[in-house]
Structure 1
Amino acid sequence: MTAPAPAGPFAALRQQLTDAAVAFAESADALAGILAGMVDDVDRALAVPLEIFPVCHHSPASALAMVRRLREKRPRVIYLELCEDLQPLLGELRNCRLPVAVQAFASELDGHPSEWSPLSVVAPITEASAEYQAIAYALDTPGVELVLVDRSTDHVFQWLPRDRPRPDGREAETGTDADDAALHGNAVAVEIGDLRPGFAELEAYLLHHGKVRHWSEWWDQYVEQPLAAADHDTYRQVMVLIGSLFRRLRPAIPERFERDEDRERYMWTRMREHLTTSGVDPSDCLYVCGAFHAASHVEQFGLATDAPAYEISPRTGTRWHYGLIPSSHSAIEAQFGLAPGSVSIAAATWTKALTRSGLTPYRLDGQRGTRPRSRRAAGGGVTPTTGVTDRLSGFLAAPPEPGGLDEAELRGWCVDIVRLARRNGYLASTADAIAVFETAILLAGLRNRARPTPYDFADAAVTCIEKDVVPGRRDIRRLCEILLGGDRVGQVGYEALPPLARDVLDRLRPLGLDLEKRTVQRALLDLHADPRLAPCSDLLWMLRHLLPPDAVRPIMGERRLGHRSVQESWDVALGRNQRALIELGYEGVTVEQVLEQRLRRAVRGPQATAAGALAAVEDAIRLLDSPRLVDELGARAVELLAAERTVDGAPEVLRRIRRLLAHYRTTAAALPAWCEAFVTAGYAHYCTLLPTAFVDEQTGVRQVGAMLGFLFSMEGLALSLGCDRTQLELAIAQSHPETPAKVALHWAARHQLGLLPLAELRARCHGLLANPLVVPAFPQYLSGFVQALDPVPGLAPFVVELMSTAFAQLPDPILLPWLPTLITTLREHGPELVPLLVREAARTFPGSLPALDAWVPPWAATAPTPAPPVVPAGPVVSLLTDHPEAVDAVATLLGCPGQWRRHDEPTHTEVAALLTQHPDTAAAVIDLLTADPT
């Protein structure tokens, strides 16, 4: 018995596709199931009383279809696939110049992993998008309600796995326009109408057989152009069919499936709730969603279902901030993985289609960058429906419409690209314009296209003009993008800015600059002639600390502890960094409040260090006039220093605390309490860690030198505050370094304490140079002595002497291989201390070459005393009796007291017996004394 034929408007198409699967496929059942299922999805979506309008993100065809449908249907309620908590921002779009992005931002997380901070979600909006047309219609048409039904931004991150790294958007592309491509930062993008194959093999197959290089080009060729002039029914059926195809042919990733289906359950639940509470007729509503979601299979799909309502989880305690940030075509392309220039081409296609069709798009009243439009009557009502008819069969079977070549348009492109190329350094001519024209037509023919597309034109221009050399910043493909529309950058208007951003613009108004421009502007401040500019200077220095480096950049003038320049010059580019300024407004109401919060956060975070806390103290003194905050940060620096178990930050701590002490000694009557506490705590802390740091292989010589620098330079102040010098002496005595550099530092420290005289230190160093086994490591000793110049600056003459002696005594076979090691060691471990040696050498050595011949080194007078002559051979008893004091002391130490006589006197019996019992010792002493010194 034969199965009954399927009924419905698509029965013939379903049967036709099933027969084709049986005739051409090896696995007919699988292919027939997919093809028939796609038709079923179309039938199911069109049968819902609530009209579903499938769209593709930033698609001119979708925007044109939306304009036609809105003017025809006049819906009373529009349900839009967009995060529901972003709805209050949509009215501010009228104060902006598109493209812009609606943003939700959170820096303090509650309920999300802390390592994800900060979280950011953006939804970019362009005029050539169906969602903007729906928003403009709903906001400017009386009696129309706009309802966002997608999950909230908090749920976007709730539904992500907790074990995944920080969720970021696609990395911005690098290149000439990398700044514009990075306008969204690392935000997670919310895309309406994501239509792209999730199955890599399917996308590769479509690109190969479509003879295109990128998905954006395939979509423009095979979907955008055919649907640009299609009627409403055809548009809906084709878009649902494509969404069903991509939905069915995608990798089986459970996580992705569950997240997409949860989004669909969420949206249908919100729409049902609104229909129940408002009582509006579903036929008066329009549901705008991606074509992918229009072919949904969840049980909550539609209105005639008995499935239970989806339970929506509550939001976390994370506090979200909302605002508008500028966007650009390149930023949208980078974030959504589109081909470079595709959004610009879409904008040009949108403009051209409007001109050709005569349609008037919807624009928000007062929209910046657009001309005012005449209002149309809001009447019209709902167009009566005549039932669903099969438009797919005719659309799929019809051949492409013969589109004649628009020679005027293509000729204009060719002339303009040659003009742009010549301006950018290319040797292009009229012959190249002709070559581009003919090559574009040839490429279109090879790719089975009726007429050249912008992509064909760009390929032809690259082939004919660029050749193999790019003389300037931009290549030909980038010039084609500029020619076909350019990278349009949006701007957020003053009224739509957060309070902090508006406050910044108001306070900088005395500079007389147009801060909304995206160009870099020069601001000149003469604070002596015009003291009213002092607040502007203060604000610029704070913005310098908070914003990216290129937002405000000082050209002349500086602000350090105790110093403020009288004249300043700044490069200001706040318009280019509007996104950073807006996100700064999410953190507070004024710049001072944000700066104070950041300084507190810097010293309270898990990675806070004592050096970082001292840096925060400096910033608070330089930028904020708040002694209370400085005391708070300083007290925190004391706590962090006492809690540190490593000395990695010792050089930075020493440098900053010296600067702060010098500042207070010149500007205040007495040191603050936290400074005194920091010195005493640091003295005890570094004395405790010094023995361990000397022997720890992970602690560098630079860190040990900084510890000694702190102890010796702060010693006077620390002792006056109650510290004990014995603690430092014990720390030095308990230190037993092994590496050469640390040994040299230890000798310098003992010399500073008076435990190692300079003569003995000189003798030790001469002994090192006399030992051929130590000479290769001598640069390490020198490195230690160079580091000792900070804690013991009086050693500078000795270090110059030591280096001069080494250069004078070492032979060339040893010195020449030794010099590169010396240079690299000094560069690595003491670059800022080498100038001290240079100045000392300039003071020590003669200033002219003739004076060098008669010059006598100042250390020649303090050279080591020559060794005494060798004692001639003779009885050892004679030697001992010639020095009775030393012999008596040794005898007493050994427990053999007695009186000694000279060798010509009667010999002491006990000494004679001792020498008789130990003849080997006596013989060894005689050999040692009679040995040849050479």
Structure 2
Amino acid sequence: MSEPFGALRDQLLGAAAAFGDGPDAVPEILAGMVEDVDRALREELEIFPVCHHSPASALAMARRLRDKRPKVVYLELCEDLAPLLPELRNCSLPVALQAFATETEGLPAEWAPLSVVAPITEASAEYQAIAYALDTPDVELVLVDRSADHVFQWTPRAPESGTDGAPGADADADADAADADEAALHGDAVGIEIGDLRPRFAELEAHLLHHGKVRHWSEWWDQYVEQPLTGADHATYRQVMVMIGSLFRRLRPARGTAGDRDEDRERYMWTRMREHLAASGADPADCLYVCGAFHAASRVEQFGLHPEPGAEPFEITPRTETEWLYGLIPSSHSAIEAQFGLASGSVSIAAATWEKAVRRGGVTPFRLNGQKGAKGAKGAKSAKPRTTARKAVEDTGGAAEVADRLTGFLSRPPALDELDEAELLGWCVDIVRLARRNGYPASTADAIAVFETSVLLAGMRNRARPTPYDFQDAAVTCIEKDTVPGRRDVRRLCEILLGGDRIGQVGYESLPPLARDVIDRLEPLGLDLGKRTIQRALLDLDARPELVPCSHLLWILRRLLPGGAARPIMGSRRLGERSVQESWDLAIGREQRALVELGYEGVTVEQVLEQRLRRAVADPEGTAATALDAVEDSILYLGGRRFTGELGRRAVELLAAERTVDEAPEVLRRMRRLLTHYRATEPELPEWCAAFVTAGYAHYCTLLPTAFVDEGTGVRQVAAMLGFLFSMESLALSLGCDRAQLEIAVAQSHPEEPAKSALLWAARFQLGALSLADLRERCDGLLANPLVLPAFPRYLNGFVQALEPAPGLTPLVVEVMSKAFGRLPDAVLLPWLPKLITTLRAQAPDLVPPLIREAGRTFPATLAGVDAWDPPWSGRPAPAEAAAPAVNAPVAALLSSHPAACDAVAVLLGHEPVWQAPDALGPAASPAVAALLAAHPATAEALAALP
């Protein structure tokens, strides 16, 4: 052991021997921590350990950069993200560097799309290093961490399925995210961070939280590490951070996949740094290696510029063939907290701590020249000149003598900050004002109570100065009380007060070409699309025809982006319709991440939509219904007959390959709409459309007998098949189909389920094999049979579904439903009603209108008419005054000379055409015909007047 830390090592071993009563692991761990610190500080290349989004690390980094002025900065960040760093000038922090891949080559297809993000905030050491390197001449910034492709290469896969638990295993989700919408800014991306300083041993974290009298890890870190190190000198900061990283590293669980992946990352980074030094010839004394404190305490054999003797070189595997795309996406404090398992509000509190430390002075932070959102930004060029005399302890990377700062830091009690009454009073007054705006009955007394409670809580937790966490707890206790009157609780209000959920934004210059194209094309709307608020756009397309392209683009964005990005309030886009005026709610600025990722798929939104439609129909799981949906979208948004024809031909192939009829209702609905569109706009049907009708006619005729007897095929699906066959029969026959196919299919169908039996009867009626009188007789027989009554509602469900293929049965369906409601007992009727209601509600556009129209023609229009009304199907004789009057001679002569017309009308009405010899009509007229002529004399007189 080296002399500087010998005393500390002996002291720790003595304490372990005096107080330890367990195995020898404790002395080994304590001695190992000291060895790790000594090893890291004696490395020729200076190692700067940091914690992610830590103000103390950022302040220490700014001080060290201004003092050392390194020529090369090695940064623990994915090496393939380097080209994105200059684009940070055009952004408002926080933002995230992103690597994105829509398709995988050499990686499991189930993982797609792949996404890796590295969030950047101003209060982070990595941003200080980036700003210094980019704005200082002759300084090189080298990213040395594994590439995004290696992130997924090293992700473990399940042994059989080829997938792992989740590609985003490095990013722990936190259920307490401040805002679910903003927490989703990173989506399900894998998060890459510098300085993952959190115990990976659950019992250790629970122990620290319990004895530290804090609720969560972020509060413990702020109290016991962040605040003491904020003003520490460079040597003390380095030694303490390496010691903490060594502690967490040695107390992690037994090595496994995660441990091996950490060590592989360290081997990767040291290999890259040695390669760069060998290629560039840079002096290690002029270099700085910025990495997480966890990795600074590395024990791998490849550690350092001069690895251990016998250490084998680390072989970096080549990247896969996956094509990666890179860009910047907006981030937020809550998104970072949710992705990396931090407490809600911790990043906002860290940002407030950073701003307060900068205001106090003592250090000038680095900010990129031209950085958006930075007030008073000063780049590296405005820094103080480099000092010529280096301090032996602070300026060397460990090559010279190292002094022990740990002993003093660990032995003396922490310096307690005095109570800043002005700051705490300001917090208390502002939280009361904010609470009143959000519906809380807060008053000045509550502000005083929050102040005193904050001081009390800090004293109970051994703190002289209340922290933001103490203030937050006091505000919840004194203001929230029992209920939350508004959308935000007091804890959320405190987060807003202490800095809020700051949300970054990517500048126009750093957006991908597609996003810039969208913003340029929507410029005629006159809106600031960068705002995160919802904006209303009013489009009068007749008065301002130049807005028609904007309307077309908005409909495409509605199809491609999440629901809140472009939401129509007035107007529609359907086949055969054209909106005169439209109203939109636009939140494109809030959905900037989705717009950026859309830019990874193409150059224009039309190209992206075409690619997505092509992928949808080419998917092995695709169906004819999805292909028809793609056809309709191509007509609505893209036009172009060639592409539409390509999708239509694919729909024909998918329909012919289907072995089930689960999506027959959707196929029928979409095909009817497309046929109506083409008949109204085209002189003839496209070839694919005719092929789809003929293929569908043959396909459904083939599957019809099986669908009738298959228990897994629903009544709705069979009705849709029959609807396709009968509604498109004339078109199919004109295209060369044979009606015998349908007749044979119906004849071979023998269903056992009552509902399908009713459908079969409707099909036979539509084919002319079953008359209306026979169908009515069968229904009456079912109602008269007490054994069949419990199943009669199922027959009636079939008749209701039969309105799809046989709309001519609507009067019979109304008649049968009326008889059922009049004759079925309550024990049968009441359990059936909910199913009938849900059926009609689900298929309201198709089934309800014809039933209502027929019921309106059948039933009396007024309540008074109900008492004297007799149903047409009751069979009662007509009143005497309604008897047929004498028909004039010309009419009688016409009817007797042409009896076929009367016979056809009688058959349609369900009567047998039996001719008798009444007085009025001479030798050939029945009473039923006479009654019909009496009820409608105008028709007979018009026929008689014909020449």
User: Is the shorter-chain TM-score for this pair beyond 0.5, marking a shared fold?
Assistant: yes
**1:59/1:130 contact within 8 Å kept:** yes
Q: Which of 355, 363, 383 is the aligned partner of 1:376? A: 383
Percent same amino acid among aligned pairs? Answer: 75
1:366 paired with 2:370, answer: yes
**1:501/1:582 contact within 8 Å kept:** yes
1:855 paired with 2:855, answer: no
Map of 1:564 onto structure 2: 578
Map of 1:37 onto structure 2: 32
Q: Find the residue that maps to 1:390 and give its secondary structure.
A: coil
Q: Find the residue that maps to 1:576 and give its secondary structure.
A: coil
Q: Find the residue that maps to 2:186 and give its secondary structure.
A: coil
Q: How does 1:884-903 map to 2 (within 5 A)?
A: none
Greater Cα shift, 304-313 or 228-237: 304-313
- Separation in 2 of the partners of 1:171 and 1:535? 41
Letter in 2 for 1:603: V
1:385 paired with 2:385, answer: no
- Separation in 2 of the partners of 1:816 and 1:179? 45
Q: Find the residue that maps to 1:124 and give its secondary structure.
A: strand
1:213 paired with 2:227, answer: no
- Separation in 2 of the partners of 1:171 and 1:293? 23
Q: Which of 317, 321, 327 is the aligned partner of 1:313? A: 317
Q: Which of 100, 107, 111 is the aligned partner of 2:106? A: 111
Q: Find the residue that maps to 1:120 and give its secondary structure.
A: strand
- Separation in 2 of the partners of 1:862 and 1:768? 21
- Separation in 1 of the partners of 2:368 and 2:635? 47
Q: Which of 655, 667, 672 is the aligned partner of 1:658? A: 672
Greater Cα shift, 839-848 or 712-721: 839-848
Map of 1:132 onto structure 2: 127
After superposition, the Cα gap between the structure-2 partners of 1:310 and 1:635, relative to the gap in structure 1 and judged at 3 Å, is same
Letter in 2 for 1:727: Q
After superposition, the Cα gap between the structure-2 partners of 1:64 and 1:496, relative to the gap in structure 1 and judged at 3 Å, is same
Q: How does 1:200-349 map to 2 (within 5 A)?
A: 200-305=202-307, 306=309, 307-349=311-353
- Separation in 1 of the partners of 2:122 and 2:339? 18
Q: In the TM superposition, what is the alpha-carbon distance from 1:767 to its structure 2 partner?
A: 1.4
Letter in 1 for 2:365: P
Q: In the TM superposition, what is the alpha-carbon distance from 1:372 to its structure 2 partner?
A: 4.2
After superposition, the Cα gap between the structure-2 partners of 1:346 and 1:20, relative to the gap in structure 1 and judged at 3 Å, is same
Q: In the TM superposition, what is the alpha-carbon distance from 1:835 to its structure 2 partner?
A: 3.4
Q: Which of 9, 19, 28 is the aligned partner of 1:24? A: 19
Q: In the TM superposition, what is the alpha-carbon distance from 1:484 to its structure 2 partner?
A: 0.4
**2:95/2:328 contact within 8 Å kept:** yes
**1:170/1:334 contact within 8 Å kept:** yes
Q: In the TM superposition, what is the alpha-carbon distance from 1:359 to its structure 2 partner?
A: 1.6
1:786 paired with 2:800, answer: yes
Q: Find the residue that maps to 1:513 and give its secondary structure.
A: coil
- Separation in 2 of the partners of 1:329 and 1:808? 66
Q: Find the residue that maps to 1:97 and give its secondary structure.
A: coil
Q: How many equivalent residue pairs? A: 858
Letter in 2 for 1:705: A
Map of 2:895 onto structure 1: none
After superposition, the Cα gap between the structure-2 partners of 1:161 and 1:754, relative to the gap in structure 1 and judged at 3 Å, is same
Letter in 1 for 2:212: G
Q: In the TM superposition, what is the alpha-carbon distance from 1:564 to its structure 2 partner?
A: 1.7
Q: In the TM superposition, what is the alpha-carbon distance from 1:858 to its structure 2 partner?
A: 2.2
Computed over aligned residues only, the root mean square deviation of the Cα atoms, in angstroms, reads: 1.6
Q: In the TM superposition, what is the alpha-carbon distance from 1:477 to its structure 2 partner?
A: 0.1
- Separation in 2 of the partners of 1:280 and 1:412? 51
Greater Cα shift, 765-774 or 36-45: 765-774
Greater Cα shift, 166-175 or 591-600: 166-175
Q: Which of 729, 742, 765 is the aligned partner of 1:728? A: 742
**1:115/1:166 contact within 8 Å kept:** no
1:100-144 per-position Cα deviation (integer Å, ceiling 9, x unaligned): 000000001111111111000000000000000000000000010
- Separation in 1 of the partners of 2:450 and 2:103? 55
- Separation in 1 of the partners of 2:852 and 2:831? 22
1:507-551 per-position Cα deviation (integer Å, ceiling 9, x unaligned): 111111111111111111111111111111111111110001100
- Separation in 1 of the partners of 2:495 and 2:575? 49
Q: In the TM superposition, what is the alpha-carbon distance from 1:188 to its structure 2 partner?
A: 0.5
Letter in 1 for 2:239: Q
Q: Find the residue that maps to 1:122 and give its secondary structure.
A: strand
1:641-682 per-position Cα deviation (integer Å, ceiling 9, x unaligned): 001111111000000000000000000000000000000000
Q: How does 1:294-693 map to 2 (within 5 A)?
A: 294-305=296-307, 306=309, 307-374=311-378, 375-376=382-383, 379-380=386-387, 383-386=390-393, 387-693=401-707
Map of 1:96 onto structure 2: 91
**2:98/2:115 contact within 8 Å kept:** yes
**1:73/1:381 contact within 8 Å kept:** no
**2:804/2:846 contact within 8 Å kept:** no
After superposition, the Cα gap between the structure-2 partners of 1:560 and 1:523, relative to the gap in structure 1 and judged at 3 Å, is same
After superposition, the Cα gap between the structure-2 partners of 1:615 and 1:174, relative to the gap in structure 1 and judged at 3 Å, is farther
Q: In the TM superposition, what is the alpha-carbon distance from 1:93 to its structure 2 partner?
A: 0.2
Q: How does 1:147-186 map to 2 (within 5 A)?
A: 147-163=142-158, 164-168=164-168, 169-171=171-173, 173=175, 177-186=179-188
Give the TM-score normalised by the residue count of structure 1.
0.90
After superposition, the Cα gap between the structure-2 partners of 1:501 and 1:824, relative to the gap in structure 1 and judged at 3 Å, is closer
Map of 2:6 onto structure 1: 11
- Separation in 2 of the partners of 1:658 and 1:541? 23
- Separation in 1 of the partners of 2:615 and 2:486? 45
- Separation in 1 of the partners of 2:767 and 2:384? 95
After superposition, the Cα gap between the structure-2 partners of 1:572 and 1:143, relative to the gap in structure 1 and judged at 3 Å, is same
1:772-818 per-position Cα deviation (integer Å, ceiling 9, x unaligned): 22211211111110110010000010011111112223345654555
Q: In the TM superposition, what is the alpha-carbon distance from 1:626 to its structure 2 partner?
A: 1.3
Q: Which of 197, 200, 203 is the aligned partner of 1:198? A: 200
Letter in 2 for 1:338: L
Letter in 2 for 1:383: R
After superposition, the Cα gap between the structure-2 partners of 1:304 and 1:551, relative to the gap in structure 1 and judged at 3 Å, is same
Question: Unaligned regions of 5+ residues in structure 1, if any?
Answer: 1-5, 864-934
Letter in 2 for 1:325: I
Letter in 2 for 1:167: P
**1:121/1:188 contact within 8 Å kept:** yes
**2:707/2:713 contact within 8 Å kept:** yes
**1:557/1:569 contact within 8 Å kept:** yes
- Separation in 2 of the partners of 1:363 and 1:628? 53
Question: Unaligned regions of 5+ residues in structure 2, if any?
Answer: 159-163, 394-400, 878-947
**1:95/1:494 contact within 8 Å kept:** yes
1:743 paired with 2:757, answer: yes
Letter in 2 for 1:644: E
Q: In the TM superposition, what is the alpha-carbon distance from 1:376 to its structure 2 partner?
A: 2.7
- Separation in 2 of the partners of 1:757 and 1:402? 98
Map of 2:945 onto structure 1: none
**2:2/2:38 contact within 8 Å kept:** no
Q: In the TM superposition, what is the alpha-carbon distance from 1:309 to its structure 2 partner?
A: 2.0
**2:73/2:129 contact within 8 Å kept:** yes
Q: In the TM superposition, what is the alpha-carbon distance from 1:253 to its structure 2 partner?
A: 4.1
**1:74/1:382 contact within 8 Å kept:** no
After superposition, the Cα gap between the structure-2 partners of 1:172 and 1:622, relative to the gap in structure 1 and judged at 3 Å, is farther
Q: How does 1:24-103 map to 2 (within 5 A)?
A: 24-27=19-22, 29-103=24-98
After superposition, the Cα gap between the structure-2 partners of 1:655 and 1:381, relative to the gap in structure 1 and judged at 3 Å, is farther
Q: Find the residue that maps to 1:559 and give its secondary structure.
A: coil
Letter in 2 for 1:346: A
After superposition, the Cα gap between the structure-2 partners of 1:820 and 1:52, relative to the gap in structure 1 and judged at 3 Å, is closer
Letter in 2 for 1:613: A
